[in-house]
Amino acid sequence: MQDNPELIARAQAWLAEDPDPETREELAKLIDAEDTAELTARFAGTLQFGTAGLRGELGAGPMRMNRSVVIRAAAGLAAYLKAKGETDGLVVVGYDARHKSADFARDTAAVMTGAGLRAAVLPRPLPTPVLAFAIRHLGAVAGVEVTASHNPPRDNGYKVYLGDGSQIVPPADAEIAAEIAAVASLHDVPRPESGWEILGDDVLEAYLARTDAVLAPDSPRTARAVYTAMHGVGKDTLLAAFARAGFPAPVLVAEQAEPDPDFPTVAFPNPEEPGAMDLAFATAARTTPAPDLIIANDPDADRCAAAVKDGEGDADWRMLRGDEVGALLAAHLVKRGARGTFAESIVSSSLLGRIAEKAGLPYEETLTGFKWIARVDGLRYGYEEALGYCVDPEGVRDKDGITAALLLTELASELKEQGRTFLDLLDDLALEHGLHATDQLSVRVEDLSLIADAMRRLREQPPARLAGLPVTKAEDLTRGTETLPPTDGLRYTLDGARVIVRPSGTEPKLKCYLEVVVPLASKAELPAARARAARLLADIKRDLSAAAGI
């Protein structure tokens, strides 16, 4: 440590300000042990505040999520709001059940109060959509949700919304980041011990009342579901919404029903991850009568996954892809006479555009993330392939796993009355619009430079063919397009296929989104079309992996 006096000085200065006994003890041990490698990792910079807010591993130091980082972020947000003239506005704070979430929420409320703003904290850990709803319902100027969504147990995050109820986008993110950087010392940030409001259940009741508007008044409510909260905060809110709607009470996946910040039954608390739904499938297999669908929320319940029976055996359940659920919900809303714009992000299936066009509805494609989808003028329905669906934009201008689950169960009920299933409706959509098959190549890394290297390699040597199909158009999205602002990504258009490559905005992953479209003339062609689509997707994945060096 004597060889790096600047590092030890930074660590000791951070230690002197840290208000959390746990992270103080953690950092003191690192300093005493002269753990240069770990201290360098934690003090190599600062956790960057962007359009996803903050998200990272819990621990001491400016490159980790901790109370010091959160207090600075809250102070920066408060300064930004006051600079915009919101000198005494209300900031609503919500939080999930992860480690430190309640502490981070309390610190945020204290900072807002100390800055002269008004703060109100949701009464307990609740789904992120409740916070997004509360902002507009209470006339707040901003909202903060403390959550790391579906990230691993060691992570937490800090998501910021402005007064329109949608997440921040540029330039607000950079302006808030500048205010955070201007916070010289935590000693300069007033944090009173009281003065903020702890909300009652009125806001939750108002949210639940709003969920009634998602369903048609005379729709059947007969479908039976198995439900997993994935160790998160969705269970009580979803059960209350289902009870209000008159659906049969979902059968709970007992092992995952209650909040648990350690997520003991899953490697990653994300319904998309391999193995995450195994307990739900096992619960469905032993449930009598057999359920019509399986529903899963992620830990903060803003995403919704669904699985359906696909075979005769008890274990024959299949997860639907986010694009499949997105198309099912769109078709359901169109049949119900929905008006307004249908929107999706560029990484989602082009099937939504075809459904909207056939229905004579406006359609818009946005950059990745609900922060963009929620801002589409006249939005009626928006979705993203990563299990995010906005079915009631007047109530929640963000993805909402509770209302999406309600609408899916209504659709399952209608199909059940007809002796049909989600799979039958997906076949209908394939016959009407062509078989749209999607897949994803997702590479998680420890070294972020590997992602930068892959993107550079693809930019310098873009593939000419993938799966034998010629690449007819290669776009570097950092330059923007006629309809999209610049973003870090690549898009390849092929004959009957499409590929998008981008770094994840919330995880250390390189994500590649693949789609092939196979025309159909009759239902008899469906098995062959599916086989062809599967082969093409596998071959595109192989060739793209080789081209990117991953």
Domains of the chain: 5-200 (3.40.120.10), 223-420 (3.40.120.10), 434-548 (3.30.310.50)
In DSSP terms, 437 is beta-bridged to 516
The per-residue pLDDT for range 75-128, each reduced to its tens digit, is 999 999 999 999 999 999 999 999 999 999 999 999 999 999 999 999 999 999
Q: Which contiguous run of DSSP H or E holds residue 206?
A: helix 202-211
Please determine, for residue 239, whether its predicted confidence score (pLDDT) is greater than 50: yes
DSSP-H helix ranges across 275-434: 278-285, 322-335, 351-359, 370-373, 401-417, 422-433
The C-alpha atoms of residue 332 and residue 336 are separated, in whole angstroms, by 6
User: Cβ of 205: how many Cβ atoms within 10 Å?
Assistant: 11
Question: Are 147 and 135 in contact, with CB atoms under 8 Å apart?
Answer: no
Q: What is the pLDDT of residue 1?
A: 46
Please determine, for residue 224, whether its predicted confidence score (pLDDT) is greater than 50: yes
In DSSP terms, 510 is beta-bridged to 443, 503
Nearest Cα neighbor of 318 from 326, 309, 305 is 309
Q: What is the mean pLDDT of the chain?
A: 95
For the chain, the farthest-separated pair of C-alpha atoms sits apart, in whole angstroms, at 76
Under the banding of pLDDT at 50, 70 and 90, the label for residue 240 is very high
User: Cβ of 209: how many Cβ atoms within 10 Å?
Assistant: 11
Instruction: Please name the residues in contact with 436: beta carbons below 8 A apart, sequence gap of 6 or more.
Output: 323, 327, 349, 350, 351, 354, 430, 515, 516, 517
Residue from 68, 149, 219, 350 carrying the catalytic annotation: 149
In three-state secondary structure terms, 514 is strand
Q: Residue 540: left (phi > 0), alpha (psi -120 to 50), or beta?
A: alpha
Q: What is the pLDDT of residue 154?
A: 96
Instruction: Please name the residues in contact with 218: beta carbons below 8 A apart, sequence gap of 6 or more.
Output: none
Q: What is the pLDDT of residue 2?
A: 56
The C-alpha atoms of residue 536 and residue 389 are separated, in whole angstroms, by 28
DSSP-H helix ranges across 288-350: 322-335
Q: Which contiguous run of DSSP H or E holds residue 92?
A: strand 90-95
Judge residue 482's burial from the number of C-beta atoms within 10 Å of its C-beta, 0-12 exposed, 13-18 middle, 19 or more buried: exposed
Task: Considering only residues 92 and 273, tell me which one the structure prediction assigns the higher pLDDT.
Answer: 92
Nearest Cα neighbor of 425 from 345, 504, 347, 330 is 330
The per-residue pLDDT for range 433-448, each reduced to its tens digit, is 999 999 999 888 878 8
The C-alpha atoms of residue 28 and residue 418 are separated, in whole angstroms, by 66
Place of tokens 């997702």: 442
Is-catalytic flag, 149?
yes
Read out DSSP for 459-506? HHS--SEETTEEEEEEEEGGG--SSS---S-EEEEETTEEEEEEE-SS
The C-alpha atoms of residue 338 and residue 333 are separated, in whole angstroms, by 5
The C-alpha atoms of residue 173 and residue 37 are separated, in whole angstroms, by 31
Question: Are 79 and 115 in contact, with CB atoms under 8 Å apart?
Answer: yes
* Mean pLDDT on 10-22: 96
